[in-house]
């Protein structure tokens, strides 16, 4: 991702960036609107070039306002996407979806590499309290809020109590999900080091394990409530166990293989990462193993069972400098603006209450764990963002409960994630800047997070 810090850019540099941004939008706007059907002939490569260029330029222009680069990437995708200026059409956006697979693989690998055993040991108490309290407070709190606001939710207002409880359970589970991609994106930009950065990375990455278990359990419990079918069967629990154990075992094997390759060969890492992102991910999905947990485990193994962690992290960050821009720009283009206009009021209310419960849970867990003051004050800031995992849950619910409930739930998920995706990164970057953890120098690559200094 674009660097954070370095030499301060003057007015002339910003003017050139603005001129280049306006020119890129203007040229593509003229081509797509003055020549009907031209967008279908421009191809995917043109869209990739436009989104990467526009996202990078807009992120640089927003930097003086203190906004994270992710905001620029998302905004470029929204404005240039099919719902605003229509510079990139729906079909092209769908063709760019494989980028998401590669980006998530890189994010999980980098997150695993960042998780050193000594770092986790130093914040183990904080992570334990935060995981337990965040899970139950947010799950129960947001489930209750959904029940109270159900009369204002079109697909839920006519449901009987039993199916309404099932939908509320699913919404509470959705609200516990976080965004590893947003966390890693902000940390890559700011190269932050300190108690807040360490806690945020450790909690969000490790909470994926909790979330996968909780989401699968919530779907199993909600199905008989919503559909009136028989209770959860032992086969469902067996499938969940296979999912988790398979992810960890495959991740361990992959991590050992990566460590051996890095030690004995260590070249052509771009091709290796491409093969992992596309080929291995497809294979993992085929055998019903979670790619995110698998790559997270693989990165953790490389870091802690070999000395090849820095080499892998450097390769991921080099490749991710372009992939992450395209990933978030494409996410912006995917945003259904008309849907957000329709559901913005109830989605905003639900998102606001989620922030409240997240804040309260973070304060309580930090007090019980005796966290450093900076984590007590700002630990909640990294937990607002949502992205792929929440959207994935929306798809699972939509497929599991076809009809008005599934369709309505999936639409509300998209609207809520859109709000959290735009607000969350801003809050996290603001917290890192205010605490002084953002690194404003310009190193070649951000080193792995070290354990925070003990609180006095």
3-state SS string for 12-51:
HHHHHHHHHHHHHHHHHHHHHHHCCCCHHHHHHHHHHHHH
Residue-level pLDDT at 376: 92
| pLDDT of res. 146 | 94
Q: In this structure, is residue 296 part of a structural domain?
A: yes
Residue 182 confidence (pLDDT): 83
Q: Note down pLDDT in tens along the chain; length 456 residues.
A: 444 444 467 788 889 989 998 998 888 888 777 766 655 555 677 888 888 899 889 988 888 887 888 888 888 888 888 888 888 888 888 888 788 788 878 888 887 887 788 878 888 888 899 989 999 999 999 999 999 999 888 888 888 888 889 889 989 988 988 888 788 888 888 888 889 998 998 888 777 777 777 777 777 777 777 776 555 555 656 666 777 788 889 999 999 999 999 999 988 888 999 998 888 888 888 887 878 788 889 999 999 999 998 899 888 888 877 887 888 888 788 777 777 777 788 989 999 999 999 999 999 999 999 999 999 999 999 999 886 667 766 766 776 677 777 778 877 887 888 888 888 889 999 999 899 898 766 544 444 555 555 555
pLDDT of residue 320: 76
Domain assignment of residue 3, yes or no: no
Same-domain pairing of 125 and 67:
no
In a domain, 1, yes or no: no
Claim to verify: residue 278 and residue 380 sit in the same structural domain? yes
Q: In Å, how far are 151, 185, 352, 437 from 422, measured between CA atoms?
A: 27, 13, 13, 22
Does 420 map to a domain?
Answer: yes
Confirm if 331 and 421 have CB atoms less than 8 A apart: yes
Q: Which of 43, 76, 96 is the last residue of a domain?
A: 96
Residues 72 and 202 in one domain: no
Residue 426's domain is classified under what CATH number? 1.20.1530.20
Q: Does residue 90 sit in the same domain as residue 183?
A: no
Residue 443 falls inside a structural domain: no
Instruction: Kindly state whether residues 307 and 346 are assigned to the same domain.
Output: yes
Measuring CA to CA, which residue among 178, 177, 173, 169 is closest to residue 144?
169
140 and 72 in a single domain? The answer is no
Asked whether residue 442 is domain-assigned, the answer is no
Range of the domain at 283: 99-434
Is 373 within a domain?
yes
pLDDT score recorded for residue 427: 92
Q: Indicate if 274 and 302 belong to the same structural domain.
A: yes
How far, in Å, CA of 323 to CA of 319, rounded?
A: 7
Sign of CA dihedral 71, 72, 73, 76: positive
pLDDT at position 349: 94
Counting the structural domains of the chain, the total is 2
- How many Å from the N-terminal Cα to the C-terminal Cα in the chain? 35
* Per-residue confidence (pLDDT) for residue 2, from 0 to 100: 42
Q: How far is CA 132 from CA 126, 179, 222, 250, 388, in A?
A: 10, 18, 21, 27, 22
Regarding whether 244 and 161 lie in a shared domain, the answer is yes
> Tokens 């909600």 label which residue?
222
Tell whether 273 and 137 lie within a shared domain: yes
Read off the pTM: 0.76
Domain membership of residue 5 (yes or no) is no
pLDDT at position 450 = 56
């Amino acid at each position: 991702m674009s660097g954070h810090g370095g030499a301060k850019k003057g007015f002339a540099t910003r003017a050139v960036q603005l001129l280049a941004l306006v020119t890129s939008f203007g040229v593509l706007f003229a081509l797509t609107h003055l020549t009907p059907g031209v967008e279908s002939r421009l191809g995917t490569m043109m869209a990739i070039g436009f989104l990467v260029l526009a996202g990078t330029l807009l992120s640089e222009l927003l930097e003086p306002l203190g906004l994270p680069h992710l905001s620029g990437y998302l905004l470029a995708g929204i404005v240039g996407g099919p719902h605003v200026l229509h510079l990139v059409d729906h079909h092209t956006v769908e063709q760019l979806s494989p980028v998401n697979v590669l980006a998530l693989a890189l994010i999980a690998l980098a997150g695993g590499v960042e998780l050193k055993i000594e770092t986790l040991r130093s914040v183990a108490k904080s992570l334990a309290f935060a995981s337990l309290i965040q899970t139950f407070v947010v799950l129960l709190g947001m489930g209750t809020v959904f029940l109270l606001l159900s009369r204002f939710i079109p697909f839920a207002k006519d449901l009987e109590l039993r199916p309404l409880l099932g939908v509320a359970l699913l919404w509470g589970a959705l609200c516990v999900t976080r965004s590893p991609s947003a966390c890693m994106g902000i940390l890559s930009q700011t190269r932050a080091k300190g108690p807040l950065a360490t806690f945020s990375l450790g909690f969000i990455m490790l909470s994926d394990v909790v979330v996968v278990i909780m989401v699968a359990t919530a779907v199993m419990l909600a199905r008989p409530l919503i559909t009136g079918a028989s209770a959860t069967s032992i086969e469902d629990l067996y499938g969940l166990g296979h999912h988790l154990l398979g992810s960890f075992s495959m991740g361990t094997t992959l991590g050992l293989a990566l460590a051996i390759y890095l030690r004995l060969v260590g070249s052509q890492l771009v091709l290796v990462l491409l093969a992992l992102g596309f080929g291995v991910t497809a294979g993992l999905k085929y055998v019903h193993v979670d790619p995110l947990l698998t790559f997270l485990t693989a990165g953790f193994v490389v870091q802690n069972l070999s000395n090849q962690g820095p080499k892998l992290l450097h390769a991921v960050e080099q490749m991710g400098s372009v992939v992450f821009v395209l990933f978030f720009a494409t996410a912006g283009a995917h945003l259904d603006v008309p849907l957000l206009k329709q559901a913005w009021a109830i989605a905003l209310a639900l998102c606001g209450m989620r922030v409240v419960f997240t804040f309260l849970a973070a304060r309580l867990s930090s007090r019980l764990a005796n966290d450093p003051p900076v984590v007590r004050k700002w630990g909640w800031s990294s937990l607002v963002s949502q992205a792929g995992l929440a959207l994935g849950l929306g798809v699972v619910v939509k497929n599991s409960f076809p009809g008005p409930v599934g369709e309505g739930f999936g639409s509300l998920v998209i609207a809520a994630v859109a709000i959290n995706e735009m607000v969350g990164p801003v809050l996290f970057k603001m917290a890192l800047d205010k605490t002084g953890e953002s690194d404003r120098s310009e190193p070649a690559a951000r080193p792995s997070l070290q354990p925070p200094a003990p609180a006095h």
